[in-house]
Structure 1
Amino acid sequence: MRKGKSAVGDAKSSSMTWGPLIVLCIAFFILVFDTTAMSVAINDLVVDLDTDISTVQAVMAIYTLVMASTMLMGAKLGDMYGRKKVFLIGVAVYGVGTMTAALSPNAGVLLTGWSLIEGCAAAAMMPAAMALLASSYPDTKNRATAFAIYGGIGAAGAAVGPMLGGFIISELSWRWVFASELILVVVILICSSMLKEVEIDASKRPSMDIIGVIISALSFVLIILAFLNAGSGLLIVPVMLVLGIILFVCFKLWTERRRRQNKTPLLDFEIFKSKTFSFGNVAQMTLNLALMGTLFILPVYMQQVLHYTAVETGIYLIPYSFSILFISFVTGPISQKFNNKYLLLFGIFIAAIGVFVLQNLFSGPEIVTGSDLAIGLLIYGVGIGFVLALLGIMLISAVSEEQQNEGSGMINTVRNLGNSMGTALIGTVLVAFMLSGIATGVMTSDVIQVDMPKDELVAELQDYAEKMEAEHAEIDLSQYPEERVNEFKSIVNTATQTAMKQSFLVIFIILVATLVFALFIPGKKKW
């Protein structure tokens, strides 16, 4: 009889409760959807806010930069005051940020609402969400299922973001992307009772390492700013990069000093003794660098060269989007049967093949259309789908129960560093090659004969390209005959196509590096 009761108890303890997973997945969906949906709004933002590509690139990069630089503090707040409490406060503040962004009259207010307020709120939400997910599902099988679904929902946000965002932007406005997030914020707050708080021992409550917060934040800020300004040619750029690295070393030394004094450090670097955690995080950073770089440059190309609307851009990204979505959901069952390391390596390898295909498309003289991109995007998406579904559970399982909040903080810090660096680095490569290509095109053209120095024309055409050929660009095309206008546009399109080729080459190299880092992750069949 006792044996029967025990079996019933075991069955109950291992049964899957869906409430916490649903609430946390909605939160994760918002955070991913936010970035990917707005990736197809670049043209609308440039026109509506009277700005240019570089400014939009900066706003997007600063959003992930703010998340990355404050994520460790957000994770520590969860340890101090409770994961659920910090998560819900983060959700509420995120609602304020998304409402501010929706009402933005200019790029400065958008920066405040989206990049700063939303970025800080997301830094509180993300570590707490991963830790709450882990604590809500102590059973190994249920936890694997929960994290597979959680990763799949993140992939779904990335998948439907360009298409759904494109539809909302084309039919309504980019402002409604932020407004729709506010509705989901309210849903999370209403359903918050489904989440259970993890009890905190008052005697073991950690303190906030303020100096550690400042040093680490400055380190991340300088490193990302260096990447963001990589194409500017300013001497300060390598100085910022070196200072950022030095500050990170200082941060590590400071945390070691705190430990020797029996004080709680902002981050316990002991978690990096796990090869899975250390090499997995490096692979995650480089992967997200490639992923966000791709999601920045493709919409720019489609909207500037092909003149697609936001919804058309989303439609032509469907092969990429839905291959990620499909593969991320089927990876869960597959991961229970095969060695996860080899599945991860397979995914990265397939993603690299997809990028190689895309890069070769831009090597020819013909304009690459949205339908031409389909095969390469499909292959790329299949590879990314495997990786996104596997990395989360592999990384969080590499840290102890007590370090899950801290570990999830570092995981999300690294992820957002990769996101920010991807937008900054790949965006800089695209803009740099596009502008140099325009200069070369103007100087070598036999058609262009204007009553101004060619260097002035180069500057005006570069401004025209950076402002996505919008009406507020400095050049007035109406003063030129049709033949010259067509030549101007041909130069801009050719330069952009060449810039896409070079950008995908950089992304391919990054994925090869990701594959190398992933080789050092220990093999394990199940996590």
Structure 2
Amino acid sequence: MASVTATAGTGRPARPGRVLAALALAQFICSFAGSNMNVMINDISEDLDTTVQGVQVVITVFLLVMAALMIPGGKLTDRFGRKRCFLTGLVVYAVGALLSAAAPGLGVLVLGNSILEGVGTALLIPPVYILTTLLHPDVSSRARAFGVVMALGGVGAAAGPLIGGLITTGISWRAAFVFQALVIAVIVLLSRRIEDPLPPDPTRSFDTAGAVLSAVGLVLVVMGILAADDNVWLMIGLLVLGALVLAWFLHSCRAKEASGREPLLSLSLFRDRTSNLGLVTQNIEWLVLMGTSFTVAAYLQVVRGYDAIQTGVVFTAATLGLLASSLSAERLARRYAQRTLIMAGFVVSIAGVVVLIVLAGSFSTAWAFVPGLLLIGLGLGVMLTPSVNVVQSSFPEERQGEISGLSRSVSNLGSSFGTAIAGTILVAGLSKGAYATAMITLASLALTGLTAAALLPHGTSESGRLTGTGARGARTRR
């Protein structure tokens, strides 16, 4: 097993803190990109002469592109190497951020933010999770490392409204994209001496047809959700068509695997029950996080008339809660089973949604949002790290590219669903009733996550070892 002091052929060791900082900052900026636009809704719509729904589409398509391309992105790391994909993704992302900053209209913003930043994220995020897993072989150190990565990822999502609000109000919404490009430059500097623990394999095949099918299927499903407020029959048609394309994709993967060829997604990944349940919890965690961020930000700005800074300040409560619990991941992992932490996180988050609805509906002050957002942040921070650890650690080194791509795709699909579902409800009628309906919907979906967590094996405290059931199953396949 490689250590975090691996060199990149320079003869000088890459310091552990420098490596982890690069990986965590990468997760931060990608999560930030998914939430900071929530406080720019009014500014962007006025500047680019568009609507709230138009900005929602930009946000949702960005999250969707990430979800659709994350599995292909994970597979490409095996062929071209983790570091090369990571750096390539950073460059593509930076180009997209700068293009977004100069966007004269909604179309260019979609190209820069939704497409290029989405593609860049799909290339750079799988290496973050693969490297974090491979460079930290034991459950305690991995929990600490994932705690830092998930803390900055969660803070990026939760603090995105505040940081974006400050930049938007102080300078302009365009400067927020310049900020992203500057952070990318810092990450590139920190990443120069990172080395792959595993060498790339240029001979690995790539399932192009499978990549197209999976992407098209996911796009159709999310577009179907977005169409709910315009045309119910269009929504049903898109959802059914998306499901059929995804079924075709899975059939294609099964056929390729049976004939000895390498599919984009090996269906054997789904034979591990613990990993499957962990994927469900990951999906719903990010659904709740991004759905809450979009719902509360849109409600504060459109219904209550808050500006970007005021909206961002309200979200500080969620940021502090998430940061405090995420950075305690290593200590919590030593004391409690992963299953216990995930269940506790969902319970606290659901309680936070209930408090948020009750207080925001009873009081007109901004302080009414603080207790609920604090609880939601604490709950999400408690469970984000163990959910990732459960999934990543169910498979051995040689399968980290596959499971990392699948894991990140599932999580980002949850982000897409959260924004699409909540946004659709709000756009249908921006009022107190619509706000409460959106939050109740998120809480109901969180109950599904709680159920999945309860079904995890009771001994899921040592799932952070690569010698678990999933690892044995993977070795048998090979």
Which residue identity does 2:210 align to in structure 1? G
Matched, 1:410 2:406: yes
Q: Secondary structure at the match of 1:18?
A: helix
Q: Distance in 1 between matches of 2:268 and 2:340?
A: 26
Which residue identity does 2:42 align to in structure 1? N
Q: Distance in 2 between matches of 1:322 and 1:361?
A: 19
Q: Distance in 2 between matches of 1:335 and 1:198?
A: 25
Q: Distance in 1 between matches of 2:57 and 2:236?
A: 18
Which residue does 1:386 correspond to in 2?
382
Which residue does 1:266 correspond to in 2?
264
Which residue does 1:100 correspond to in 2?
99
Q: Distance in 2 between matches of 1:322 and 1:278?
A: 30
Which residue does 2:9 correspond to in 1?
none
Which residue does 2:367 correspond to in 1?
371
Which residue does 2:77 correspond to in 1?
78
Give the CA deviation at 1:359.
2.1
Which residue does 1:27 correspond to in 2?
26
Which residue does 2:174 correspond to in 1?
175
Q: 1:515 aligns with which of 418, 425, 450?
A: 450
Q: 1:243 aligns with which of 241, 251, 268?
A: 241
Q: 1:299 aligns with which of 286, 297, 321?
A: 297
Q: Distance in 1 between matches of 2:46 and 2:204?
A: 48
Contact 1:151 1:328 in 2 (8 A): yes
Which residue identity does 1:231 align to in structure 2? D
Which residue does 1:419 correspond to in 2?
415
Structure 1 segment 186-197 matched on structure 2, within 5 A: 186-197=185-196
Where do 5+ consecutive residues of structure 1 fail to align?
A: 1-9, 435-495
Q: Distance in 1 between matches of 2:229 and 2:218?
A: 19
Matched, 1:397 2:393: yes
Which residue does 1:287 correspond to in 2?
285
Which residue does 1:456 correspond to in 2?
none
Q: Distance in 2 between matches of 1:189 and 1:201?
A: 20
Q: Secondary structure at the match of 2:415?
A: helix
Matched, 1:338 2:273: no
Give the CA deviation at 1:508.
1.3
Q: Distance in 2 between matches of 1:248 and 1:50?
A: 36
Contact 2:59 2:114 in 1 (8 A): yes
Which residue identity does 1:417 align to in structure 2? L
Matched, 1:497 2:432: yes
Q: Distance in 2 between matches of 1:290 and 1:155?
A: 12
Contact 1:329 1:389 in 2 (8 A): no
Which residue identity does 2:144 align to in structure 1? T
Superposed CA deviations along residues 245-273 of structure 1, whole A, max 9, x for unmatched, are: 12212211111111122111101121111
Contact 2:78 2:200 in 1 (8 A): no
Q: Distance in 2 between matches of 1:217 and 1:52?
A: 27
Q: Bigger CA drift: 20-29 or 155-164?
A: 155-164
Which residue does 1:359 correspond to in 2?
357
Give the CA deviation at 1:201.
6.4
Give the CA deviation at 1:400.
1.8
Aligned-pair Cα RMSD in Å: 2.0
Which residue does 1:125 correspond to in 2?
124
Contact 1:287 1:510 in 2 (8 A): no
Q: Distance in 2 between matches of 1:362 and 1:338?
A: 34
Q: Distance in 2 between matches of 1:379 and 1:263?
A: 48
Which residue does 1:322 correspond to in 2?
320
Q: Normalised by the size of structure 1, how large is the TM-score?
A: 0.82
Q: Bigger CA drift: 90-99 or 425-434?
A: 425-434
Q: Secondary structure at the match of 2:192?
A: helix
Which residue does 2:90 correspond to in 1?
91
Superposed CA deviations along residues 359-405 of structure 1, whole A, max 9, x for unmatched, are: 223555x6x33111111112222111112232222221122211111
Distance 1:227 1:63, change over 3 A: same
Q: Secondary structure at the match of 1:194?
A: coil
Contact 1:25 1:153 in 2 (8 A): yes
Give the CA deviation at 1:165.
1.6
Q: Give the number of the structure whose alpha-carbon radius of gyration is greater.
A: 1
Which residue does 1:185 correspond to in 2?
184
Which residue does 2:163 correspond to in 1?
164
